[in-house]
Chains A and B, each alone.
Chain A
């Protein structure tokens, strides 16, 4: 039985095409992936992200605990700030990638992948059992629904939907005053909601977490208020093409328990100088001595079908790796993807081939991100 979010009936009313995503019945598209993708790049789009998980970590030991299980340095966060970070096993493999927010002094809020809620919570509890400081760890996923409102025009109308100053976390006079990666608590129709200036699209935008009722009301109000600005409801299909263009990893594709953040190309979010943490010795060795395989971005140069996950990657006439994400880029109108290759092939400008249904088509390794606004 698939789980449904608080916005399920709203998706049905909009005529969304629904698919199973990590055990959730989610909209993959409403009208067309291309239209929804371009709405987010050029104007605005709204996504249901209620399937994502939330974990609250509090207590005087929270900082020390989180710094022992996450790769980024949580001490960098002031109240009301967030950071992208990863959770690794002892081998340096990725248990999950997530956003960690500091809501106030000793209260942290983690937003984790839907498909990883159970393994993450089990992993965190096992780590907490070995931890001696004061700590409270709660899976609050079932308390929250969430939406992402993304695109260059969102800043023009979000204050109309969520008016007034914040009341907790980052104190700002208006939601628009939040800076990238900041999070504020706001009152919306009498309900408390958390709003962060974050996203998974490469565009400016906000993510909003709250109870079912407030998120249902926000969804409806954003559709009405945003419509004159070009806002469209956008599904997981556009979410995937948007994040692939800007090379944000997706757990289960670029990241898994046998792949490290260094191999995945997100070593920037691994803070080796903060002290001991899970996976540190492996990650330190890889940062110092290099990796065997690396996640690269590529563009198709031959006219070809779009690359797809698991297609073989060839170099110098031999198969050397595999595509992990691939699609037709709606912004660039050509096939793009991400894949793992041995490090000796992982140089921008190198020509590779993607095997598509038994035939090989030429591609070139490009710097990340694949798409930048200036390219247009």
Chain B
């Protein structure tokens, strides 16, 4: 059974968002990491990059394949998580903690309303 923390928002493409003030932390869901299995490489975006909601801005590689990670919201990438690049298995072991990818300064906080609630995300993944 997939873990879906109740204090987060989710994108249909399986990223999660944790909002604190005007900044959002982004990672991928427990369901997504279980589907990928064996994450062996994480490519993070450059700090300072401006991204739009839905834009591919990171890559997660499993043994089998490379998967794009899409920013759930628009804004500027203000902080990266270097430990996840050094130890990609954090995506598998701590998808909601040590496995986060980047923090983004929200340029349009209203976009958060378009993301899925934990209940709706649970429905989407058939949980």
| Across the A-B interface, the 4 shortest Cβ-Cβ residue pairs | A328-B40, A33-B63, A32-B37, A305-B41
B38 to chain A, nearest CB (A): 5
Q: How far is the CA of A29 from the CA of B64 in the complex (A)?
A: 10
Q: How far is the CA of A37 from the CA of B63 in the complex (A)?
A: 11
Known: A33-B37, A33-B38, A34-B38. A237 touches B64 (CB 8 A): yes
- For residue B76, which residues in chain A have a CB less than 8 angstroms away from its CB? none
Query: What 1/0 flags go to B30-50 for Cβ under 8 Å of A?
Result: 000001011011010000000
Secondary structure class of chain A's binding surface, majority of residues: mixed
Query: What 1/0 flags go to A66-89 for Cβ under 8 Å of B?
Result: 000000000000000000000000
Report yes or no: B61 in contact with A328, Cβ–Cβ below 8 A.
yes
- For residue B61, which residues in chain A have a CB less than 8 angstroms away from its CB? 305-306, 328
Instruction: Add 14 more A-B contacts to A32-B38, A357-B59 (CB < 8 A).
Output: A28-B64, A29-B64, A32-B37, A33-B37, A34-B37, A237-B64, A304-B41, A305-B43, A306-B40, A308-B65, A327-B63, A328-B38, A328-B63, A357-B43
- For residue B125, which residues in chain A have a CB less than 8 angstroms away from its CB? none
Question: Residues of B with Cβ closer than 8 Å to A?
Answer: 35, 37-38, 40-41, 43, 59, 61-66
- Residue ID in chain A nearest B85 by CB atoms: A303
Interface centre among B37, B40, B64 (most CB of A within 10 A): B64
**Chain A 15-53 interface residues, beta-carbon cutoff 8 Å to B:** 17, 28-29, 31-34, 37
Interface centre among A34, A305, A308 (most CB of B within 10 A): A305
Q: Check if A241 is an interface residue, CB within 8 A of chain B.
A: yes
Report yes or no: A330 in contact with B63, Cβ–Cβ below 8 A.
yes
- Residue ID in chain B nearest A29 by CB atoms: B37
- Residue ID in chain B nearest A240 by CB atoms: B64
